[in-house]
Structure 1
């Protein structure tokens, strides 16, 4: 169980001081009729009297089906084992103990100055040191709360621990420990989006470290599957990447949430339970006990192939299949077991040609500048720990739209230098990222852009940076291969093509650079076409 970055599924609403605490300390009350109850632990045992027949409006209607209560509270609130005369309340007697686990209770915490908490920070836009965290540091507490408070469909507890044993890991997690000798740093060791003004994002180095961690954990052979929790806009990218890189025969599933844990109609808890159910069922395995569906995203009672799913809206049900050719791997609706509906034809996990265990330790990169010339350099991409974080490829996405600043025609041929952003990125890559490339989200499904942008991207690929063309939006067609120096992105979205190109750069390295990237020779073009063909084979099969 891996806790990933900016994960709504691991995020909880702000802890706001209850009216119980406000009344106790003479603070202004909130206008709400009831206090919100938050999961907390008892510090000592306590005896509680529960009013009988109060769990459902029609319980008393079936009172003849019940055993007698444990006793009654008389008009003075005194407990009686025999029903007294007059108005008495039937009750059940229960001993609550700290060993029972969490209980929903009013939140009694206040700020250090004695004032009430109104939000997660001491004041709006407070710095990190004056803000509490709403994200859990790992999924241990999440799973405890799901089992403690979740209800199965027939009123029984939600079963997680009876289905599997869990080990909890933190891979670029959403919450961090900020005190003590090994204090973690926001934006370097953990990554949040709330409070919104403190939002942070993981980088390529963190992706490399997380990949190494997942591979190391699975290499022990102790686990039947992996659940990965991440923010809903990006979980599909990470799972596709892990499905390309991680060499494993067990299922890899990812879970997002559109609503925070503990909030009204929180959807993430069900996604987690469905993931456990999916892995434990063995439906993802073939007759040899090997994963046959690749990395998946499980959300809203559906199992999507990570390659073919994307978020389109911030609400439950806000995921759709992209690429137009399948993508829903299994159904988890109803009371029955998971049912497979689709088997991916693409290579993944233990069948991937990009899995970490077969990637080379060194590849060729490029350095220099467009002015002084481009030359090859050797890049160490893998060591004893796995991927080398500093060597992670830098792939940029550029998007085509009609009506560029300058039109083109017979009287105004395309001039690559007019695409200043692309040329600046090429020079920045040559200075700092020896493994780099571009994805051009062009016309759908052709993948082509306007002639000026195409010309600038041609400079990139003859400077050693492969360029992938994909269709714009959710295209069901395959991007046409109209120029053998460009890679066709098949039916991938631009974001998924970026992940695949990053992995491919770790396998093949940079393209052979031309002496003058603006004017390659015929021989240099032929060498580039030959190198691009190897990339194209990966895009056709992964």
Structure 2
């Protein structure tokens, strides 16, 4: 179980000081809209520090339990009006009870939250005030998935009263890869965490961990972090210890990471992504917890296996009782079932949840994981890159190291691929090349600072055609060693045609964000196309060399 950045499943609601605590500290109570004290305290899962005995009133678990009293055995005893327990009823007013012994080792229990702030005031949100700095803000995201799994197993139950909804099916190891929450003070060696003992150095917001709440402290992982994701998951799965991988990420971004994983991980085990499209963990109606349970049910079902026991689907997302292919899934809305299918063809490969067991409904033709042409083990140690040549505006070829001595991906080598969006009424005229300042500036920056770079053009659907001024700049871009992929804008259902793609790659029916991930992987696999000495006047041989290089890219875009 890998806890990734902004992982919505690991996001919890603020810990709000209970009315019991407010009364104890002489603070104003939480009230309803009419100013009356709330009837109930919100209960949050917490651990007992010592054993305690509680007495629970018999027949209080359901309004109609007592209606079937003749089916029940006797209670453990009775409480009189003074609260004294006895095994025999001494008066008609004695209440039948069950005696329960609760111990710390029993695990989490829902209890009123008693914490207050250091100044004696109540907690009403994550921070001590609006726009509070990190040292005055509590973290709403869990540092890993272990606590979420424990809460689901301890407090959740299924439609048929099943408990331990995750632990009854599998054993889990928990990894923190660009996690959503961090230990800002660090943890000393031997100090306990949910996933083991400490030995963690102090971690920093937006550098070592990446939350999105509070909004002003949101952290977004850099491009180089994609190498860490690749290497950590690849290393864990290469041990042969694990039968599956679960990846948690932000609901708007998980589609990109999952597609990357299905492209680069050389593994035969299934990879499943989970997110919550709305509402933090533990809130009424939050879908993240159920998605986790369904993900494990999908893995246990084995419907993903081929006749050799290998995963035949590649990375998938489990959401709202559906299993969606990583290549085709896209977040569309922040509501239950808010993930949709792009490209107009397939995408939903299985159903899960009631009624009945998981059912496989389709098999994709796209290459993935162990069959991918751009998997990590197929990427060479070094590839051709480009940089600005000493004279003029042209480029020259250079060697770029993309893997370290252990075969891991180098963060510094992760390619820079920009997305350029075409729209009508942008240029001043047919030769308005000067209007393409964003493209020209990015090309110049890439040649100065990026050994591996490229562009995705999100243009007219489905043809991927853009304005003549942009076409002229992008043609020159390809001759400078930066490949260009063209896709239709929005959720295009048609395929970008090959015959319109001179010096460009047809992006099939991929969205721009998915085409970006695939182009990044292709740059690592094949390197940059050979640059022309003068991109404004290429020779016939240089044009042929660029087109031949782009055919390798095109073959991957046609099959992945």
Query: TM tier, shorter chain?
Result: over 0.9
Please, what is the CA RMSD of the aligned residues?
Answer: 1.3
SS in 1 for 2:558: helix
**Aligned residue number for residue 505 of structure 1:** 523
SS at match of 1:423: helix
Please give the TM-score of this superposition, normalised by the length of structure 2: 0.94
**1:254 maps to 2:260:** no
Q: Does 1:472 align with 2:489?
A: yes
Contact 2:156 2:165 in 1 (8 A): no
Measure how far apart 1:521 and its partner are.
Answer: 3.1
Q: Deviations over 1:358-380 (max 9, x none)?
A: 11010011111794431111100
2-structure distance, mates of 1:57, 1:211 = 53
**Once the two structures are superposed, what CA deviation does each residue of 1:218-258 show, in whole Å capped at 9, x if it has no partner?**
00011110000001001111011001000000001100102
Aligned to 1:36: 42
- When normalised by structure 1's length, the TM-score is 0.97
CA distance in 1, matches of 2:88, 2:137: 53
State the partner residue of 1:96: 102
Q: Does structure 2 conserve the Cα–Cα contact (< 8 Å) formed by 1:415 and 1:455?
A: no
CA contact (8 A) 1:37 1:107 kept: yes
SS of equivalent residue, structure 2 residue 334: coil
Cα distance between partner residues in 2 of 1:385 and 1:179: 33
The corresponding residue for 2:556 is 538
> Partner residue of 1:411?
none
Match of 2:66 in 1: 60
**Which residue of 1 is the match for residue 2 of structure 2?**
2
Contact 1:396 1:438 in 2 (8 A): yes
**Does residue 376 in structure 1 map to residue 393 in structure 2?**
no
Asked whether 1:388 is paired with 2:410, we answer yes
Aligned to 1:442: 459
Please name the residue that 1:275 is paired with.
295
Say yes or no: does 1:195 pair with 2:222: no
CA distance in 1, matches of 2:165, 2:44: 22
> Cα deviations across residues 248-298 of structure 1 (Å, max 9, x unaligned)?
000011001022101111111111111111112211111101110111011
How many pairs are equivalent?
A: 537
Q: Deviations over 1:289-346 (max 9, x none)?
A: 1110111011111111100110000111111111111111111031532111111101
Q: Which residue of 2 aligns with 1:224?
A: 243
Measured against aligned partners, the alpha-carbon deviations of 1:161-204 in whole angstroms (never above 9, x if no partner) come to 22211111011110111113711111111101001110110012
* Contact 2:427/2:435 (<8 A) preserved: no
Q: 1:136 is matched with which residue? A: 142
- Structure 2: distance between partners of 1:456 and 1:90: 83
1:348 lines up with 2:368 in the alignment: yes
Contact 2:181/2:210, CA 8 A, preserved across alignment: yes
Determine the C-alpha separation between the residues in 2 that align with 1:342 and 1:245.
Answer: 23
For residue 108 of structure 1, the aligned residue among 107, 111, 114 is 114
Please state if 1:422 is matched with 2:418: no
How many angstroms apart in 1 are the aligned matches of 2:85 and 2:403?
71
The aligned counterpart of 2:196 is none
More deviation in 65-74 or 458-467? 65-74
> CA offsets, 1:93-146, max 9 Å, x none?
101100100000000111112211111111111001111111111111111111
Unpaired runs of 5+ in structure 1? 409-413
Between 135-144 and 79-88, report the one with greater CA deviation. 79-88
Counterpart of 1:397 in structure 2 is 419
1:160 and 2:166 equivalent?
yes
Q: Is the 8 A contact 2:157 2:165 kept in 1?
A: no
Unaligned runs of 5+ in 2: 32-37, 187-199
Matched, 1:284 2:308: no
